A and B are shown apart, each in its own frame.
Chain A
Amino acid sequence: MASFDLADNTVRELNKHLHGAVTDKVTVDNPGGKHSVAVGATDAHQVEINGNVGYYCAGMNAEASVVVNGHAGPGLAENMMSGRVHVTGSASQYCAATAHGGLVVIDGDASSRCGISMKGVDIVVKGSVGHMSAFMAQTGRLVVCGDAGDALGDSIYEAQLYVRGTVESLGADCEEKAMRAEHKQALQDLLDAAGVTGVSVDEFKRYGSARKLYHFNIDNASSY
């Protein structure tokens, strides 16, 4: 058990601890919107942060479980490899950008570009996501229990998107897909993992790549 009060301790001291040999429970108080809180963890630490964090909290996280009891700034869990990040408030733009694995859960809303360029992560947003979410999303799954903003899934590759509410518009090459039994099961598992209750998988629609832009084709020039 270790604790860091960021009113007195530095972010450097916290991160050094998370890169060290001892794996344990870590509490962080008074994060005060600081950047790079709990980045690059290398082991299954259990980190609890009480307050709001700035940019890149839990960036490149591997294996650790990070809970933010508050809101998170831009780039939460960017390029995360594995583990779990849970924010009880809302997250700013580029949440889980390029993340390769693990689970990110946002109890509130996520801003624009949530899941941009995601590469295998699972993201569950209990509220809504802003415009350009899942832009160039490669693999992984994004679940939105509220609504999605403009240009959802623009230039998407093989990521799978599930949205319960309305989608303002779909981006280039993103289309609605059939919800088959296996998708419902996968979605249910994600909702369970994220601790979402009181919603039914039947309320969601699935979106993914139309795969029309996978090869340069002059007839598609207006979509590029």
Chain B
Amino acid sequence: MVDKSWLKESATFSRPVIREIQRAAETGIYDIRGFGAKRHIPHFDDLVFLGASMSRYPLEGYRETCDTSVVLGDRFAKKPITIDIPITIAGMSFGALSAQAKEALGRGASKMGTSTTTGDGGMTPEERGQSKYLVYQYLPSRYGMNPEDLRKADAIEVVVGQGAKPGGGGMLLGQKISDRVAGMRNLPKGIDQRSACRHPDWTGPDDLEIKIAELREITDWEKPIYVKVGAARTFYDVTLAIKAGADVVVVDGMQGGTAATQDVFIEHVGIPTLPAVRAAVEALQELDMHRKVQLIVSGGIRSGADVAKALAMGADAVSIGTAALVALGDNNDIYEAEYNKLGTSAGYYDDYQDGQDPAGICTQDPELSQRLDPVAAGRRLANYLNVLTLETQTLARACGKSHVHNLEPEDLAALTIEAAAMAGVPLAGTQWIPGKL
């Protein structure tokens, strides 16, 4: 055996980099995978709360109330929705996910009084049935889109882009195109299917305004209409979404998860969630629309600390994808032997695209998907959402807030100069915000 502790690994040509060059040379095709960006980028970890002290007083941890409810869509919709916690479940398609996983997401979200979201592939009866509030995505592919389901939805989300791939369309590889998935999408079974990256019947913000008006007409102005964008030119994108008539804007940072995207896209396109929240809030404030049009932020939300920091920066709610899947059972050690057979390990698994998920979540294989018990998995998700909420309240009370929306940028300090510049909060111990005087 060679004693590897003496060997010096190149920072530039690290082992994963070398492995990828070898893989590319073997196959001649780019790497397609699931999950989100894996490299280190500035994130909410680089912020801390200041808490209360001499100049502010905290709230009692258990007794004094700290409200967590959020109203979404009261700008134009006749029927806005009120969620009990500031955390929603992001859009993930039936196709990418098994029907059991979709049902479990609905169960967990409903138990906590929050919403879940369809995805690129239409609405399934399982998720509609189990979701108290279901947001119906309106995507470029329009797979499974129909006016009946549109009217069954509690809100409509026009998807312009996704943080994992701003400017990219969806992919669902043949292994996951079962009869049911193919039928819902009007496509032949088993083909590699690529969703369009642009909407087929509108381009640009002026068209979007007309499109949103059409969706409102079809649904008699009842439903809140969200617009989801991948974080890139966030200030302008949010400004234009508001102008186009959105009730809610969803901004998804570059860490955001995906079911299948080129690795090069996941890691190199878009900006992190941290600067995106600030840019989105600035756009809302400049138009005097902050708290009138709601902002939902996603991309790398893992804990109540992340939730509280996003809210303190001005978001109205957050949305989770990857963390929700992990709560259901994704990347669980109990499947270690099977992960090993797939050439990976629990904690590293990201091949959501290939349909062999041992946890029965990112698959259409009937045997694998049977492994996921929607009731038990839904309970785990509800538990997890409960912890996120309790943690968020803990931090809010420590800052003396009786509603989580009362958290504010003044409650935050940054640990790094990058985070200070991106989030627009002072570097800890100073009053310095790089880029501002």
Contacts and interface: CB of A to CB of B under 8 A. Distances in A.
Nearest to B145: A79
A94 B201 contact: yes
A69 interface: no
Interface in B17-35: 27-29
B220 A216 contact: no
Interface string B213-238: 11001111100000000000000000
B121 to A, nearest CB: 13
A181 interface: no
Interface residues of B, number: 32
A15 B219 CA distance: 10
Contacts of B145: 79, 98
B201 A35 contact: no
B351 to A, nearest CB: 15
Contacts of B211: 55-56
Nearest to A214: B191
Contacts of A216: 29, 173, 192
A120 interface: yes
Interface string A90-113: 000010011010000000000001
Interface in B122-162: 141-142, 145-148, 150
A25 interface: no
B202 interface: yes
Contact of A39 (B27, B173, B185, B218): B218
A116 B217 contact: no
A139 B186 contact: yes
B186 A120 contact: yes
Contact of A116 (B188, B201, B213, B220): B201
A78 interface: yes
B29 A79 contact: no
A3 to B, nearest CB: 19
A211 to B, nearest CB: 8
Interface in A80-136: 81, 94, 97-98, 100, 113, 116-117, 119-120, 135-136
B191 A62 contact: no
A138 B200 CA distance: 13
A75 B217 contact: no
Interface in A42-69: 42, 54-56, 59-60, 62
Contact of B210 (A42, A55, A62, A116): A55
B174 interface: yes
B337 interface: no
Nearest to A99: B142
B147 A12 contact: no
> DSSP class of A's interface residues: helix, strand, loop or mixed?
loop
B179 to A, nearest CB: 15
B192 A55 contact: no
Nearest to A78: B201
Contacts of A214: 174, 188, 191-192
A16 B221 CA distance: 10
Contacts of A79: 142, 145-147
A119 B188 contact: no
B186 A116 contact: no
Given A42-B147, A56-B201, A100-B146, 13 more contacts: A15-B218, A15-B220, A36-B213, A40-B217, A55-B211, A56-B211, A60-B147, A94-B201, A97-B142, A116-B200, A119-B142, A138-B186, A214-B192
Interface of A: 11-12, 15-16, 19, 35-36, 39-40, 42, 54-56, 59-60, 62, 74-75, 78-79, 81, 94, 97-98, 100, 113, 116-117, 119-120, 135-136, 138-139, 157-158, 214-216, 218
24 contacts: A16-B220, A19-B220, A39-B214, A42-B147, A55-B214, A56-B201, A59-B218, A60-B146, A62-B148, A74-B201, A75-B201, A75-B202, A78-B201, A79-B142, A94-B201, A98-B201, A116-B200, A116-B201, A117-B142, A117-B200, A135-B200, A136-B200, A214-B188, A215-B191
